[in-house]
Chains A and B, each alone.
Chain A
């Protein structure tokens, strides 16, 4: 079974600082990778996803992530955070291939951006 590890439980940044949130997964085959964001009191929204092709993927709100297969990593980055990025961020993995549906989440990283 697959698993996901997110390195940081809580990250505190000042506005305009750069962000990098770590995510590593464990699975023996090919995977689809996701980052979701959850703003306070809201449901999960898809930030970006990787299925195949260019390992550097761009998502909404200026976020991007890089898939490094050799490191089993899918780190999330943003060059300059804003107060409105305060949220919890979840990395998730789904084994690719027909009939593979289960989405497994990491425990999340809470981001607090100080104005």
Chain B
């Protein structure tokens, strides 16, 4: 089924560990983005990309790295996890006009202990 696939769905990390959250889409969307969702804060943009090789920071980029080597994949890396990064992470993609809206993945629930 076409859409945005995120893995893993759940993850527990110890403080200081690193990990990569995976995001893949098969709709040939040029725009991909990562959000974090925290209670009472809505969704906040971490990083985004408008095409392979092009990335930029969103509202809350500190502690996260991204790269975009292909159109399909947009992984999010936590270099040294902190308890403040405990959150639900969503990946989203969009086509060139946005007319059909943004498609969201099912999310990754990350707990840092």
Q: Which residues of A contact B (CB under 8 A)?
A: 6, 9, 32, 34, 36, 42-46, 49, 51, 90, 94, 99, 101-108
Mark interface residues in B81-107 (1 if CB within 8 Å of A CB, else 0): 000000000101010001101101111
Closest to B103 in A: A46
Q: Determine if B101 and A34 form an interchain contact, defined as CB atoms under 8 angstroms apart.
A: yes
Q: CB-CB < 8 A to B42: which residues of A?
A: 6, 90, 105-108
Contact A46 B101 (CB under 8 A): yes
A107 touches B40 (CB 8 A): yes
- Give the docked Cα–Cα distance between A104 and B45 (Å): 8
Contacts of B31 in A (CB 8 A): 101
B33 in contact (CB, < 8 A): yes
For residue B58, CB closer than 8 A to chain A, the reply is yes
- Are the CB atoms of A105 and B58 closer together than 8 Å? no
A36 neighbours in B (Cβ, 8 Å): 104
Cβ A90 vs Cβ B45 within 8 A: no
Contacts A43-B105, A102-B48; A94 near B58 (Cβ below 8 A): no
Find B107's partner among A43, A51, A101 (CB 8 Å cutoff): A43
* A113 to B: closest C-beta gap in Å: 20
Task: Give, as a whole number of angstroms, the nearest-CB distance from A26 to chain B.
Answer: 15
Least distance between A110 CB and chain B CB atoms (Å): 9
Q: Is B43 an interface residue (CB 8 A)?
A: yes
Residues of B within 8 A of A103 (CB): 33, 45, 92, 94, 102
Q: Which residues between 48 and 85 of chain B lie within 8 Å of chain A, taking CB atoms?
A: 48, 50, 58
Bound complex: CA A9 to CA B40 (Å): 8
Specify which of B40, B44, B50, B90 is in contact with A101 (CB 8 Å cutoff). Answer: B50
Closest to B88 in A: A43
User: Are A43 and B104 in touch, CB under 8 angstroms?
Assistant: yes
Contact: A102 with B58, CB < 8 Å?
yes
B90 in contact with A49 (CB, 8 Å): no
If A106-B42, A108-B42 touch, whether A32 touches B98 (CB-CB below 8 Å) is yes
Report the bound CA distance from A44 to B4 in whole Å.
12
